[in-house]
């Protein structure tokens, strides 16, 4: 079965300073931290790109094996997460290589700036994924996105994404032998689509303002949201 792979380019999503500071590990802030944050945000202006490539696949599950037709993977957690779905969006996204260059530059001359750029990059790719998923929600009944490495979903599923989506050609995203993506501020994920109308519980977890960490079993993650 062949799949149609589409590409979308987004304009810059609004920055969420609170999220950036959370990713930077800032429990408290003062004027110097806010000034540093604003300076780093200003330095990214015009340097980042916001690209997504994706396809929509039929989906079924049997005995914990998730079948996307182009490939199969064993994951009880993903099977449960997509239990009401009969299709799935497989997508890859990146904000480009310039944020990696800024991180590398300042790691040598200003560790504080390098840390802030790391946090900005993380917030930027999350904002891009949120924008893409919000677009999907306008068209389909969707469930929260789920990425390789969550729960028992193997990280080497990345290879299937890259083979299917041709990420290098479409959005300049590459995967090395250690399963690390380049540019680093990139995400691959699955969004389930159901033909059923969402229940009250489904509606609650599908709202992007809710806790996106609820889909991941890593309870002791440094960046896990409490609510």
pLDDT interval class at 203 (50, 70, 90): very low
In a domain, 227, yes or no: no
pLDDT interval class at 116 (50, 70, 90): very high
Residue 202 pLDDT > 50, yes or no?
no
Beta bridge partners of 57: 88
- Percentage of residues in the chain having pLDDT higher than 70: 85
Q: Alpha-carbon distance 84 to 54, whole Å?
A: 21
The residue written with tokens 């994951």 in the block is 75
Assign residue 123 a region (left: φ > 0; alpha: ψ between -120 and 50; beta: otherwise): alpha
What total of structural domains would you count in the chain? Answer: 1
pLDDT interval class at 4 (50, 70, 90): very high
Q: How much is the pLDDT for 3?
A: 84
Q: Residues 104, 120: contact at Cβ < 8 Å?
A: no
Compare 72 and 216 and report the one with higher pLDDT.
72
Choose among 160, 157, 164: nearest CA to 2: 164
Choose among 135, 113, 124, 132: nearest CA to 43: 113
Range 5-23 average pLDDT = 97
In a domain, 179, yes or no: yes
DSSP for 154-165, please give it. -GGGHHHHHHHH
In a domain, 198, yes or no: yes
pTM above 0.85, yes or no: yes
In a domain, 151, yes or no: yes
Q: Residues 89, 55: contact at Cβ < 8 Å?
A: yes
In a domain, 226, yes or no: no
Residue 193 pLDDT > 80, yes or no?
yes
∠ CA 45-99-168, rounded to 5°: 115
Range 147-172 average pLDDT = 96
pLDDT interval class at 200 (50, 70, 90): very low
Q: Alpha-carbon distance 91 to 53, whole Å?
A: 6
β strands within 59-108, DSSP E: 60-62, 65-67, 72-74, 87-94
In a domain, 224, yes or no: no
Q: How much is the pLDDT for 50?
A: 98
- Cβ within 8 Å of residue 73, ≥6 positions away: 65, 66, 153, 154, 157, 160
Q: Residues 94, 168: contact at Cβ < 8 Å?
A: no
Q: Residues 92, 185: contact at Cβ < 8 Å?
A: no
Q: How much is the pLDDT for 1?
A: 58
Residue 65 pLDDT > 50, yes or no?
yes
In a domain, 183, yes or no: yes
Question: Peptide bond preceding 183: is omega within 30 degrees of 0, i.e. cis?
Answer: yes
pLDDT interval class at 206 (50, 70, 90): very low
For residue 26, the domain's CATH number is 3.40.109.40
Q: How much is the pLDDT for 167?
A: 97
pLDDT interval class at 208 (50, 70, 90): very low
In a domain, 52, yes or no: yes
Q: How much is the pLDDT for 223?
A: 53
Domain limits for position 174: 6-215
């Amino acid at each position: 079965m062949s799949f149609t792979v589409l590409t979308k380019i987004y304009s810059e999503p609004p920055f969420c300073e609170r999220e950036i500071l959370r990713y930077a590990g800032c429990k408290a802030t003062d004027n110097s931290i806010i000034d540093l944050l604003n300076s780093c945000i200003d330095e990214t202006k015009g340097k980042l790109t916001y690209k997504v490539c994706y396809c929509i696949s039929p989906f079924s599950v049997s005995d914990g094996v998730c079948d996307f037709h182009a490939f199969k993977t064993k994951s009880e957690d993903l099977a449960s997460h997509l239990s009401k779905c009969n299709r799935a969006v497989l997508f890859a996204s990146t904000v480009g290589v310039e944020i990696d260059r800024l991180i590398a530059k300042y790691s040598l001359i200003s560790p504080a700036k390098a840390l802030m750029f790391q946090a900005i990059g993380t917030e930027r790719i999350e904002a891009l994924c949120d924008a893409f998923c919000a677009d999907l929600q306008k068209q389909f009944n969707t469930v929260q996105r789920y990425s390789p490495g969550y729960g028992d979903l193997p990280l080497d599923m990345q290879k299937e994404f890259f083979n299917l989506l041709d990420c290098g050609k479409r959005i300049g995203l590459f995967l090395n032998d250690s399963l690390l993506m380049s540019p680093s501020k990139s995400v691959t994920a699955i969004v389930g689509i159901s033909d059923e109308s969402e229940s009250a519980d489904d509606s609650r977890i599908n709202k992007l303002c809710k806790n996106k960490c609820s889909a991941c079993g890593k309870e002791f993650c440094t960046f896990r949201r409490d609510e």
